[in-house]
Amino acid sequence: MELSYSAKHNEKFIDKFDPRTKLTWYLVMIYYSLSCETALKLCIVLLVGITVSLVLTGSLKQYKVMIMTMLFLGLQMLILQLLFCREGILIYQWGILKIYSEAIPLALTGLLKATIIVFASMQFFTSSSPMDFTLMLMKFKIPYRFAMLVGLSIRFIPLMKDEYMSIIESQTTRGLKMESVWDNIKSIIPTFLPFLYRAVRRSTEVGLAMELRGYGRSKTRTFSSDLSIKNYDIVLIIAMFLLIIISFVCKLLPLAI
């Protein structure tokens, strides 16, 4: 669950864009994943997304984790569609089990749609540094006390994951077994509760430390960097919104006629 931020190095092409441009691109991808209905169109959308990532970051390595998740989902969807799909013509029957011709195309388009959404989400949420996300939220008029929580979460996720592992270790040395699924279910409470108590203590301390260093003292604060939207960002954002509007209108028009 490591979060990788390419923006850390500040050398890639992707860092030249404002997070707001990236957000609009994310909206475009989501729009198309939901509005396209054929496997071919969805494949094109996915390919465009992948190409953009490849050009802007030079690598697709971070998406590797997606493959297993999507394969597992694909398998599940296939089974569900084979069992329950009632569209198209009946091609096979064995007792109450009926398989219809639309099962496989439906599973495929479903999987493609889900893949595009997962891909685009990962693309967007790993495209900027936590600081850029904070600054973007502030541009959307979200007070800094809320916006800065982005950085705080990224700071504490790895720390708390390690802590949870230590808690598991601690309890296993007391004799708690963690071998079978049943063991795992039984161990939830003795590992979760120390984690919860620790978390509450931690949040109390962190909050106190922050407040005693003036957090929330006034409405604004000085940040070490700022977002400055470039002309090409504005052009891109307008173009992407136009694309969504035109495509939406085109989709509606046949209905209007």
Residues in region 11-40 near another protein by CB under 8 A: 30, 33-34
Question: 203 or 238, CB closer to another protein?
Answer: 203
Q: Which residues pair with 98 in a beta bridge?
A: 93
**DSSP strand pairing (90-94 vs 97-100):** antiparallel
Question: 139 or 215, CB closer to another protein?
Answer: 215
Who's near 130: CB < 8 A, 6+ residues apart? 5, 150, 151, 153, 154
Residue type, 166: S
Q: Which of residues 188-247 bind another protein (CB under 8 A)?
A: 188-218, 220-224
Closest separation between CB of residue 13 and another protein, Å?
Answer: 20
Give the number of residues in contact with another protein, rule: CB under 8 A: 101
For the chain, give me the number of helices (H) and strands (E)?
A: 10, 2
Closest separation between CB of residue 240 and another protein, Å?
Answer: 19
With CB under 8 A as the contact rule, which of the stretches 14-22, 50-58, 80-88, 241-249 interacts with another protein? 80-88
Is 66 a binding residue for another protein by CB under 8 A? The answer is: yes
Q: Which helix (H) or strand (E) holds 91?
A: strand 90-94
Please pick, from the candidates 95, 96, 175, 253, the single residue that binds another protein as defined by CB under 8 A.
175
Is 85 a binding residue for another protein by CB under 8 A? The answer is: yes
DSSP, collapsed to helix, strand or coil, labels residue 99 as strand
Q: Which helix (H) or strand (E) holds 255?
A: helix 231-256
Q: Count the Cβ atoms, other than its own, within 10 Å of residue 19.
A: 22
Please pick, from the candidates 10, 86, 228, 231, the single residue that binds another protein as defined by CB under 8 A.
86
With CB under 8 A as the contact rule, which of the stretches 12-20, 184-192, 233-241, 243-251 interacts with another protein? 184-192
What's the token pair of residue 171?
């309890």
